[in-house]
Amino acid sequence: MNLAVYDFILLGIFIIFLAVFLYRKRKNIQKQGLLLLYRTTWGIKLIKNVGKKYKKLLTKLSYVSIGMGYLLMVGILYLFGKIIYIYIAYPQVVRAIKIPPIMPLIPYLPQVFKLDFLPPFYFTYWIIIIAIIAIPHEFAHGIFASLNKVRIKKTGFGFFPFFLPIFLAAFVELDEKNMEKKSKFSQMAVLSAGTFANVITAIFFFIIMWFFFSLSFAPTGIIFNDYSYGVVEIAGITMINGLPITNATYEKVSNLTNDEGLNKIQVGNRSYVATKEFLDTQGEIYNYTFLYYDSPAINAGLEGAITNINDAKITSLEIFQNELSKYSAGDKVSVKTIVGEEIKEYEIELGENPNEEGPGYLGVGFMDTRRSGVMGKIIDFISFKKSNIYYKSIFEAAWFIYHLLWWLVLISFSVALINMLPVGIFDGGRFFYLSILALTKSKVKAEKTFKFVTKFFLFLLLLLMVLWAMSFF
C-alpha cells in the first residue's frame, strides 16, 4: 500500500473523528461569520503563568517582536509588489503555474496542479503543520497579552463548515475593549507576537531540518539536465538523414525530419542530432535554431542520475569532470545511472569535444537549477540540496520526514509574512493603524488611512485574480 493510500485513510479517520467531536460538543460551538468556533478555557492558566514568570525577558522581547513586525510588513509589501509585476509582465509564467493567486494551501495542491518544483503535500503534513504553527502563534498572542494585563476571555479552535468539517486554526480571544485601553506599544507587542512566534518556529525547525538532512541523506550521483547542444544557422544545414539540402529553411528542415527517433543533421563538417518534436517546439529564432551535438550520451539514450563511471563513484560535478579527464576520445567506459529505484548501466565510447580539444567527451549538460525571485531564493535556501547533486536517503521514511520539515519551515515563514499585511483581517492591519496613529496623533487620519490601505489591497487582490484569468486567453 503506497503512502497516498495511508494518507487518504488518515484523512477519512480524521473527518469522522472531527464530525463526532463537533456533534458531541455542539453546545460549546458558536457560529461567527463563516467560521464555527469551539470556545474553551484550556491553556489560559498556562499562558498567564508564563506571562508572569518571564516578565523581564518578555518585556525585552517586545521590542524584538515589534521590530520583527515592521521587517515582515516591509517584506510582504515588497513580495506583493513583485507578484503584481510578474502577473502584469509575464502572463506566460502565470499560465504555467496554473493555480490562482488567492488559493489556500490545501492537501495535495502541488500534486493536483502538477507543480513539480514543489515537493508533495499530504493531508498528514497539513494537519501536523497547522497544529505546530497555529498553537505557538496564538499562545504568543496570549502570553504577551498577559504580560500587558490584557484580559483573555477564551481559547479554542475554529472550523470551516463548508464541504467537510475541516480544522482551521487555534485562537486566543482577547477582551478588545480592554486591549484598546493599553498603550500603543503594548498593543503592537501583542499583535506582532504571533508572527514573531512563527519566525522562531521557522528558525527552530530549519535547524532541525539541517541536522536531519545531514544525517539522513548522502550524495550518490549527479543529475544532468539535458544533452549538450549548440546554436546553428539554419541556412548552414547541408544534410538531413543522409539527404542533401540546399538553401535550407526551417520549413524544409522540418519536412525532412522523421517523427520517430533522432534525425542526423549535418552543418558543414559538424554532426548534430534532433528529434522532430525538439525542432518543432523551439521553432525558428531569427534564422537560427538549437541542435544537439551528435554525442555519445544522446545516442546511447543516457538517462537518470550518473552514479558511477567505471569503478569511480560520482558524487559531485567536480569528481565527474576529473574522472572524464582520465580518458580520451575512443575510450570505452561503463556509466551507471539511477532512474527512480532502477539501476541502469551503459557501455559508451567517448567522443571528441565539438568545441575544444581535450579529454573524452560524453555530451551531457548541466544547467543552473537555482530559482529566481525572492520566494525562489527562500525555497532554495531551505532546501539545502546543492544544484545537480542526486541525494539518496539512508532509510525509507527519510524523504517523507524531510518534506514535512521543509513545508513546516516554508509555511511558518509564509504565515508570518502574510499575517503582517496591512489589511483589516490580519494582525498587520491593526499594527499598521497603530503605527499611523503614533505618527499623526489623529484617530481620524489613522482610520481613514487604514480603511484606504485595506480597500487598496483588496482591489489589488481582485486585480491579481483578473490578471490570472486573462493569462489563459
**57 and 172 together in one domain:** yes
**142 and 282 together in one domain:** no
What is the 8-class DSSP label of residue 28? G
Q: Determine the pLDDT at residue 165.
A: 45
**186 and 285 together in one domain:** no
**121 and 232 together in one domain:** no
d(Cα 84, Cα 457) in Å, to the nearest integer?
11
* Angle, alpha carbons 165-430-463 (nearest 5°): 70
Q: Determine the pLDDT at residue 163.
A: 45
Q: Where are the strands (E) in 294-419, listed by range?
A: 305-309, 312-313, 332-339, 342-349, 364-365, 389-393
What is the 8-class DSSP label of residue 391? E
How would you write the pLDDT of the chain (473 residues) with one tens digit per residue? Answer: 567 787 878 878 877 877 787 778 777 777 776 677 788 888 899 999 999 999 999 999 999 999 999 999 999 999 899 889 888 888 887 887 777 777 777 778 887 777 777 888 998 898 889 889 988 999 999 999 999 999 999 888 777 665 444 555 678 889 999 999 999 999 999 999 999 999 999 999 999 999 999 899 999 999 998 898 889 999 999 999 999 998 888 888 888 899 888 999 999 888 999 998 888 887 777 788 999 999 999 999 999 999 999 999 999 989 999 999 999 999 999 999 999 889 999 999 999 888 777 788 999 988 766 655 555 556 565 566 667 889 999 998 899 999 999 999 999 999 999 999 999 889 999 999 999 999 999 999 999 999 999 999 999 999 988 888 887 77
10 Å Cβ neighbour count for 131? 14
**37 and 105 together in one domain:** yes
In a domain, 188, yes or no: yes
| Whole-Å CA distances, 100 to 21, 42, 423, 468 | 33, 37, 20, 6
Q: Determine the pLDDT at residue 31.
A: 74
Place of cell 504555467: 96
By the 8 A CB rule, do 115 and 379 touch? no
In a domain, 379, yes or no: no
Name 360's Cβ contacts closer than 8 Å, sequence gap at least 6: 324, 327, 328, 329, 330, 331, 333, 350, 351
Distance of CA 187 to the CA centre of its chain: 33
By the 8 A CB rule, do 106 and 126 touch? yes
Indicate the burial class of 171 (C-beta count within 10 angstroms; 0-12, 13-18, 19 or more). buried
List the domain range (segments joined by +) for residue 442. Answer: 3-218+394-470
3-state secondary structure of 106: coil
Q: Grid coordinates in use for 271?
A: 554532426
Q: Grid coordinates in use for 53?
A: 514568570
**233 and 198 together in one domain:** no
By the 8 A CB rule, do 204 and 133 touch? no
**350 and 414 together in one domain:** no
**25 and 114 together in one domain:** yes
To which H or E segment does residue 461 belong? helix 443-470
Distance between start and end Cα atoms, the chain: 42
Among the candidates 365, 385, 406, a domain finishes at: 365
Q: Grid coordinates in use for 323?
A: 574522472
**128 and 144 together in one domain:** yes
**79 and 170 together in one domain:** yes
In a domain, 268, yes or no: yes
Domain total of the chain: 2
Question: Taking the complete model, does pTM exceed 0.85, yes or no?
Answer: no
Alpha-helical runs (H) found in 225-360: 250-256, 276-282, 296-300, 317-324
d(Cα 137, Cα 420) in Å, to the nearest integer?
13
3-state secondary structure of 279: helix
Alpha-helical runs (H) found in 119-258: 123-147, 176-180, 184-216, 250-256
**286 and 324 together in one domain:** yes
3-state secondary structure of 212: helix
